[in-house]
Amino acid sequence: PVCLPCTRNEDCGNDGACVAVATGSRACLPRCNPDVPVCPGRLRCVRDVALADTAVCAPVGGPCCIDADGDGRVRLPPRTATR
């Protein structure tokens, strides 16, 4: 769930980290390997201990959103119900 709001790492699944973003809120960002930096959209693989204890794909110079199909609009995945 890239860029969805979170409060802790567990909210982001095994491949994500809950990171403080520029807006002051927290969002799920995918973990990445700086040696093989593969990130979606305009996100870049960064290792910044101020952000997270691991390297993450973070928005650099832009909003935390991904236009997966390149149509100029961003659609968030549907939220799943939790109990």
**Which pLDDT does position 69 carry in this prediction?**
57
Residue 27 · residue 4 · CB < 8 Å: yes
**Other CB atoms within 10 Å distance of the CB of residue 48:** 10
**Which pLDDT does position 82 carry in this prediction?**
42
Average pLDDT per run of 10 along the chain, which is 83 residues long?
86 90 82 89 80 81 61 48 42
- pTM exceeds cut of 0.75: no
Sign of CA dihedral 5, 7, 12, 16: positive
**Which pLDDT does position 31 carry in this prediction?**
92
**Which pLDDT does position 13 carry in this prediction?**
92
